[in-house]
């Protein structure tokens, strides 16, 4: 018999605990509710597959989850490499794709396993940020045969998932609105000995009254969880502040990337401004 | 949270524009000093104590970056970004150089042993971007400072490249270097 319900009443944490303790085999599909905040903007239902209480496969509905797609998503393969491999193989099984990847020297077997693992974890962690949505567990349903499976024990997944869920809730509290821009703190003089991550650097280099947090995130291909986390970190360090009034209409609809095409007029203003200092 | 729709008359609804310039150069060349002399906000110095072999030169180094701000007018702000001096932070250079208007290569005119490094940093930045740049022959107040002319030869730079005398601790000197860079940028702009 299928297990059905809503995450509001029975959380993903509880579901995974059940699957883990009862060593269940089957497929769990979750359909996020429209209003539910999703940290990566995915509103498509997701499917997770388990064998004897271990997570073995995952995908979002409508999103291809062939091995090559998965490896591109986790950054282990470039889209060009993926296409080259796919063109050479008429049969579309993951096993065959994997062998081609190894034989062409693109990746080792270990790279592939780590890549699939990373993808599985990212997918399941994202589901922890869905606060509401119908779910259904269909016993004994397994992923399509041609897909690769990597078994992951659920215990650590549950622990880390919970941590992320709490962090996500805190981040939503701290930064409820992504459609505001950022500015450098007026008095950052107390800052000492902070070291910034590469992502923090990237965000800093896009700080500009016209760029909203959302636009910066989209440009840098960070999901809502990641851009909130980076922004929050910078805010905690006292480096940046959120601009208070959100814009009803952004002056420029798409993220204006820092451009170097300045008009003569603007340059003359800068020159004049510096002369006057 | 409540939202107030911000609708403003076209006249006073100009978006703020920010532009950036990068200040780079070898360890202890004077990048932080340079930005500090002209910035209106305290320069964010993310400095920390350094290892023994470099301690002889100075006690602190910039581990992340410096940034300073110059407000030009109501809707135009110039940011100065200083790169960290140590090469293990190279990965940030490309990010910092994205969208820059131009860059200044600071070179310590008192320490010729850093010239080779300065040249290599300069070449790296030129690869990132074709924007104009100038070289600042810093610490000209020091009795042992090399002259800009000699440094140009030592650095193997073409005649067309500006190597400017600089004393990073003096605001007028910093203004002069920035203005020379801006003039070079202006030359390339055809309206
Ligand atoms: N005499 C003299 N000393 C200077 C000048 N500019 C900088 N200094 C000194 O040179 C040392 C290095 O200057 P910084 O501004 O810290 O150099 P930096 O390039 O930021 O160094 P890193 O961030 O470690 O790469 C400091 O002790 C400054 O006070 C100058 O024009 N003249
Ligand atoms: Mg410094």
DSSP string of A219-253, one letter each residue:
HTT--HHHHHHHHHHHHHTTSEEE-SSPPSS-SSS
Instruction: Give the closest residue to B150 by CA, choosing from B112, B100, B116.
Output: B112
Q: What is the total residue count of chain A? A: 277
How far apart (Å, rounded) are the C-alpha atoms in residues A230 and A48?
28
Q: At what angle do helices B31-38 and B171-188 cross, to 10 degrees?
A: 90
Q: Could you tell me if B170 lies within 8 Å of chain A, comparing CB atoms? A: no
3-class secondary structure, B56? coil
Report domain extents, chain A. Answer: 3-173, 182-275
Residue B26 alpha carbon, nearest atom of ligand 1: 25
3-class secondary structure, B70? strand
Per-residue pLDDT reduced to its tens digit, A76-97: 888 888 888 888 767 678 988 8
For the segment A53-74, the average pLDDT, to the nearest whole number, is 89
Task: Look at residue A191 in the predicted model and tell me its pLDDT.
Answer: 61
Burial of A273 (0-12, 13-18, 19+ CB in 10 A): middle
- Closest by Cβ to A177, choosing from B1, B7, B189: B1
Pairwise CB contact (< 8 Å): A188 & B69: no
Task: Look at residue A53 in the predicted model and tell me its pLDDT.
Answer: 94
Task: Look at residue A236 in the predicted model and tell me its pLDDT.
Answer: 86
For the Cβ of B133 lying below 6 angstroms from any atom of ligand 1, the answer is: no
Report for A36-40, A188-192, B25-29: range of highest mean pLDDT = B25-29
**How do beta strands A3-6 and A133-139 pair?**
antiparallel
Per-residue pLDDT reduced to its tens digit, A140-177: 999 988 899 999 999 999 999 999 889 998 999 999 88
For the segment A66-78, the average pLDDT, to the nearest whole number, is 89
Contact at 8 Å (CB) between B54 and B61?
yes
Residue of A nearest to B81 (CA): A205
The dihedral through the CA atoms of B185, B187, B188, B190 has a sign that is: positive
In sequence order, the 6+-apart residues with CB closer than 8 A to the CB of B145 are B109, B110, B137, B139
Instruction: Tell me which fold the domain B4-190 belongs to.
Output: Rossmann fold (3.40.50)
Task: Look at residue A258 in the predicted model and tell me its pLDDT.
Answer: 41
Task: Look at residue B57 in the predicted model and tell me its pLDDT.
Answer: 56
Contact at 8 Å (CB) between A40 and A123?
no
pLDDT grade, residue A187 (50/70/90)?
A: low
Report domain extents, chain B. Answer: 4-190
pLDDT at A257 exceeding the cut of 50: no
Q: Which of B33, B34, B135 to mutate to test the pocket of ligand 1 (most atoms within 8 A of CB)?
A: B33
- Closest by Cβ to B42, choosing from A188, A194, A251: A188
Per-residue pLDDT reduced to its tens digit, A215-236: 888 888 888 888 999 999 988 8
For the segment A258-270, the average pLDDT, to the nearest whole number, is 78
Pairwise CB contact (< 8 Å): B63 & A187: no
Task: Look at residue B139 in the predicted model and tell me its pLDDT.
Answer: 98
The pocket of ion ligand 2, defined by CB under 5 A, consists of B 31-32, 62
Task: Look at residue A80 in the predicted model and tell me its pLDDT.
Answer: 86
Residues of chain B with pLDDT under 50: 1-13, 52-53
**Chain A: nearest CA to B71, how far in angstroms?**
8
Task: Look at residue B109 in the predicted model and tell me its pLDDT.
Answer: 95
Per-residue pLDDT reduced to its tens digit, B93-108: 777 787 889 999 999 9
Interface of A with B in 66-105 (CB under 8 A): none
Task: Look at residue B176 in the predicted model and tell me its pLDDT.
Answer: 98
In sequence order, the 6+-apart residues with CB closer than 8 A to the CB of B147 are B109, B137, B165
3-class secondary structure, A122? helix
Pairwise CB contact (< 8 Å): A247 & B6: yes
Task: Look at residue B5 in the predicted model and tell me its pLDDT.
Answer: 29
Q: Which residues of B touch A263 (CB under 8 A)?
A: 189, 191
Per-residue pLDDT reduced to its tens digit, A98-114: 988 898 888 999 999 99
In sequence order, the 6+-apart residues with CB closer than 8 A to the CB of A270 are B19, B72, B76, B78, B182
In sequence order, the 6+-apart residues with CB closer than 8 A to the CB of A7 are A30, A130, A131, A132, A133, A134, A135
- Higher per-residue pLDDT: A122 or B96: A122
Residue B27 alpha carbon, nearest atom of ligand 1: 25
**Chain B: nearest CA to A172, how far in angstroms?**
12
How far apart (Å, rounded) are the C-alpha atoms in residues B42 and A266?
25
Contact at 8 Å (CB) between B97 and B103?
yes
Pairwise CB contact (< 8 Å): B178 & A247: no
For the Cβ of B142 lying below 6 angstroms from any atom of ligand 1, the answer is: yes
Q: Which residues of B touch A251 (CB under 8 A)?
A: 13, 15
End-to-end CA distance of chain A: 77
Task: Look at residue A116 in the predicted model and tell me its pLDDT.
Answer: 94
Interface of A with B in 169-198 (CB under 8 A): 176-177, 184, 186-189, 191-196, 198
Q: Which residues of B touch A274 (CB under 8 A)?
A: 38, 70, 72, 78, 175, 178-179, 182
3-class secondary structure, A91? coil
pTM of the model: 0.53
In sequence order, the 6+-apart residues with CB closer than 8 A to the CB of B3 are A246, A248
In sequence order, the 6+-apart residues with CB closer than 8 A to the CB of A131 are A7, A8, A36, A37
ipTM of this predicted structure: 0.85
How far apart (Å, rounded) are the C-alpha atoms in residues B64 and B67?
10
Q: Which residues of B touch A209 (CB under 8 A)?
A: 15-16, 18
Instruction: Give the closest residue to A238 by CA, choosing from A173, A176, A172, A194.
Output: A194
H helices of chain A, in order, are: 12-21, 67-73, 79-88, 94-103, 109-127, 154-174, 198-204, 213-219, 224-236, 264-276
In sequence order, the 6+-apart residues with CB closer than 8 A to the CB of B90 are B124
Query: What would the 3-class secondary structure string for B96-119 be?
Result: HHCCCCEEEEEEECCCHHHHHHHH
Q: Which of B28, B64, B104, B135 to mutate to test the pocket of ligand 1 (most atoms within 8 A of CB)?
A: B28
Choose, out of B2, B62, B182, B190, the residue to mutate when testing the contact with A (most A CBs < 10 Å).
B182
For the segment A254-275, the average pLDDT, to the nearest whole number, is 73
Long-range contacts of A143-147 (CB under 8 A, 24+ apart): A143/A27, A143/A49, A143/A56, A143/A57, A145/A93, A146/A92, A146/A93, A146/A94, A146/A95, A147/A57, A147/A65, A147/A66, A147/A67, A147/A94
Contact at 8 Å (CB) between A221 and A189?
no
Task: Look at residue A239 in the predicted model and tell me its pLDDT.
Answer: 84
Per-residue pLDDT reduced to its tens digit, B114-138: 999 999 999 988 888 889 999 999 9
Summary mean pLDDT of chain A: 83
Instruction: Give the closest residue to A179 by CA, choosing from A129, A218, A205.
Output: A218
Q: Which residues of B touch A253 (CB under 8 A)?
A: none
């Amino acid at each position: 018999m299928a297990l059905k319900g809503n995450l509001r009443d029975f959380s993903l944490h509880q579901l995974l605990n059940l699957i883990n303790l009862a060593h269940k085999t089957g497929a769990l599909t979750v359909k996020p509710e429209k209003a539910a905040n999703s940290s990566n903007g995915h509103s498509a239902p997701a499917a997770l597959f388990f064998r004897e209480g271990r997570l073995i496969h995952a995908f979002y509905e409508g999103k291809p989850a062939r091995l090559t797609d998965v490896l591109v998503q986790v950054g282990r393969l470039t889209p060009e490499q993926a296409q080259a491999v796919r063109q050479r193989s008429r049969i579309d099984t993951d096993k065959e794709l994997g062998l081609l990847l190894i034989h062409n020297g693109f990746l080792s077997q270990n790279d592939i396993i780590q890549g699939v693992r990373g993808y599985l974890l990212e997918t399941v962690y994202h589901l922890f940020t869905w606060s509401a949505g119908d779910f259904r567990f269909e016993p004994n349903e397994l992923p399509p045969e041609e897909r690769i499976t990597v078994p992951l024990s659920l215990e650590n997944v549950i622990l880390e998932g919970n941590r992320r869920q709490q962090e996500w809730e805190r981040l939503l509290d701290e930064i409820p609105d992504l459609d505001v821009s950022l500015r450098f703190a007026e008095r950052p003089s107390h800052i000492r000995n902070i070291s910034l991550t590469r992502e923090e650097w990237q965000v800093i280099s896009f700080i500009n009254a016209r760029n909203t947090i959302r636009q910066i995130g989209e440009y840098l291909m960070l999901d809502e969880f990641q851009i909130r986390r980076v922004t929050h970190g910078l805010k905690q360090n006292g480096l940046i502040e959120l601009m208070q009034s959100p814009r009803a209409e952004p002056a420029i609809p798409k993220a204006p990337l820092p451009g170097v095409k300045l008009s003569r007029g603007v340059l003359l203003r800068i020159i004049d401004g510096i002369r006057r200092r | 949270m409540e939202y107030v729709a911000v609708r403003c008359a076209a006249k006073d609804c100009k978006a703020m524009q920010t532009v950036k310039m990068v200040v780079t150069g070898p360890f202890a060349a004077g990048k932080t000093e340079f930005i500090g002399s002209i910035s209106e906000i305290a320069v964010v110095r993310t400095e920390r104590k350094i290892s023994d072999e470099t301690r002889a030169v100075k006690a602190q180094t910039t581990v992340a970056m410096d940034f300073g701000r110059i407000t030009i007018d109501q809707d135009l702000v110039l940011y100065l970004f200083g790169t960290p001096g140590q090469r293990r932070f190279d990965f940030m250079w490309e990010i910092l150089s994205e969208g820059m208007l131009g860059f200044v290569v600071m070179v310590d005119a008192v320490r010729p042993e850093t010239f080779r490094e300065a040249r290599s940093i300069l070449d790296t930045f030129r690869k990132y971007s074709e924007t104009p740049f100038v070289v600042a022959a810093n610490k000209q107040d020091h009795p042992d400072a090399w002259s800009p002319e000699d440094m140009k030869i030592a650095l193997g730079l073409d005649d067309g490249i500006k190597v400017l005398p600089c004393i990073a601790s003096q605001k007028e000197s910093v203004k002069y270097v920035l203005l020379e860079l801006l003039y070079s940028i202006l030359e390339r702009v055809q309206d």
